[in-house]
Structure 1
Amino acid sequence: MRDIDEIVAAVGLTEKVDDRLNALSGGQRRRVDLAAALLTSPQILLLDEPTTGLDPVGKSQIHELLGAAVDDGVTVFLTTHDLNEAEKVATRIIVLKEGRIIAEAAPWQLREQLVGKAQITWQCDGRTHVHATDAVESFVATLPLEEISNLTITRPTLEDAYLSLMNTEGSAA
């Protein structure tokens, strides 16, 4: 079992430790939920939208706590609709639709498999050039940077992959 004072401090509730639960904000209640879950040093942690209602600092603190729990050997299952959060904290993503698994992979694999590679766009000699690659840095290193303008690199997001998957699944079902 972990020390309660350590957990309360880690979730940023030291100042609120004597407050009644119904006096806490929604975000603070989320922190209490996580603190209670971590108290028994679980091997598996199931969390449903643990950062809903938290400000960016609170989200960051929760992500750090989850990372520390994983480092300590805890398996964390996280349900979320916040795909930016999933991309930050997940090593593996499972996408469910109507109660069945329709995809399972690392975030980068979902992005690459479902959306494609990064797209590099630049202008040179009065023309616009476009190139798709998964080796962005090495490709850009081959470009004559002093001769080009408006270089942009667009990488697919997890949201792009999710939407592609939902559209594909929806039309195939």
Structure 2
Amino acid sequence: MSNSFSDRIKNFILFSKATNDNEKIKKKYFELVKIFHPDLNNEIDKEISNENMIVLNYVYEQLIKNKVNGKYCLTNEYGIKEYISDKALYIYKLGFIEFRKAITIMLENPGNKEGTSYEIIGHLYKSYKYFKEVIKLDKNGNWGRASIVQLHHAYSMNEHITRGLTGSDEKGLVEI
């Protein structure tokens, strides 16, 4: 096993994906803290060590924060927590929530295209990224097929919104 920071982070991520036990992930995290924390290891340059800890803390937070007992924790658009074991479904729902935010903003501000267009496009872009990730994960499954449909709707909505942003002589669209 390599001793480089990037290799250890990659191994930490692979380890966490292989287990559903948050306590084991936490233990592995603290092992890495002992190696890379600037106050615990004088052999590493303080500045590099601080940067490593920022990355390590971020990775740990992302690995733990959305998982409870091996399931992904999602707060849906109604504020209700859902616990989902299927990663493709979890990411699909994240995309669908972003897509619904875009629709809600559009419906609540029908005469204010200039003021809300970029906010809507931002949510569409996030939904696009989530749906593309689901398609990679679940090429032939239900969530992959549903993501293809949602991508089509997101593209259509983006085209509708961006047409309102261009002048009458311009034909360009804002790409998501």
Shared topology, TM-score over 0.5?
no
Q: Which structure dedicates a bigger proportion of its chain to helix?
A: 2
TM-score by length of 2: 0.30
Q: Which structure dedicates a bigger proportion of its chain to strand?
A: 1
